Amino acid sequence: MKNYTNIALVASFFGLWMDSYFSNHIQIILGFLLIFSFGILHGANDLLLIKNLNKKNINKSWLKILGYYVFVVLIGILLFVILPQFALLLFIIISSYHFGEQEWQQLGIEFSKMLIITFQFSYGLLILLLLFNFHTIQTQDIIFKITTFSVPYYIFSLALKIVAPLYIVMSGFIFYKAEKLRKKIVFELFFMLLFTILFNSSSLIWGFAIYFVLWHSIPSIIDQIKFLNGSFSVNNFIMYCRNAGIYWLISIIGIAGIYFLFREEELFNAVFFSFLAAITFPHTFVINKMFSGKELNHS
């Protein structure tokens, strides 16, 4: 989809403008609506991606593939029950890499695999640490409700002071080594400044929703459609939504059940992010295989 970055940029500034007109409560409602729509949708077509990733699996039954996928999700949920601290740390690590992989697919063969993974990971972790540092109290409350462990304030600050320079230095190295990526490096540093302003002025959920939906989920949907159909079009998007519809609906019903069981805001946030983490584990693996299996055309 051509010029999507421009659309995301305008929408982000619009979201930033909305901060001054909507209360935190309204921002939270709108943020969850965004996450429940495109945010959940972008991971709802994993089973179709799996069938297209390996033609050897084409004869495997739909129920068998679904069973494998649900098993991994249940393992993720179980980890949050029996080893919540480990599960949350694993979620942060995997999510950081997943965000960075989506944004920095085009690093190519000019750099070592270790440098690419480290750079992608540092990008995603920097996004999360910016969000955590501007909403430390809420973040601490959510982590405590998930793990019963209270993370000291200085941990967030210290981690940011380590990761931010690392990302900037690595960006400078890539800028120096790869001429074709110099424009993107400059733009990405500008976008990081935009995220910093956005996270600072918005509520935790609203800030996360704008990044997660506009800068991660929708670009991921575009890439998935290109992988499945060869190109992005309105018709291909409609087909994507139809294929993902039942899984998206199941996820929404599950989230609705969580809400009715845990209506208290911070407790719901904790359980919701645990649920999001559980479905992120297999999704990250599938998307990694997608990027490894086919080079996508970007615009």
**pLDDT at residue 19, rounded to an integer:** 79
Q: Considering the domain boundaries, does residue 49 fall inside one?
A: yes
Q: Give the global pTM.
A: 0.87
Q: Considering the domain boundaries, does residue 298 fall inside one?
A: no
**pLDDT at residue 61, rounded to an integer:** 63
**pLDDT at residue 58, rounded to an integer:** 52
Side chain identity at residue 32, one-letter code: F
**pLDDT at residue 298, rounded to an integer:** 40
Number of structural domains found in the chain: 1
Which residues span the domain enclosing 22?
Answer: 4-293
For the chain, the C-alpha Rg in angstroms (whole number) is: 19
**pLDDT at residue 208, rounded to an integer:** 92
Q: Considering the domain boundaries, does residue 116 fall inside one?
A: yes
**pLDDT at residue 129, rounded to an integer:** 97
Q: In whole angstroms, what is the distance from residue 195 CA to residue 184 CA?
A: 16
- Judge whether 135 and 198 are in contact, CB under 8 Å: no
Which of the residues in the chain have pLDDT under 50? Answer: 295-299
Residue 197: name the closest of 116, 98, 131 by CA: 131
**pLDDT at residue 125, rounded to an integer:** 97
Q: Considering the domain boundaries, does residue 299 fall inside one?
A: no
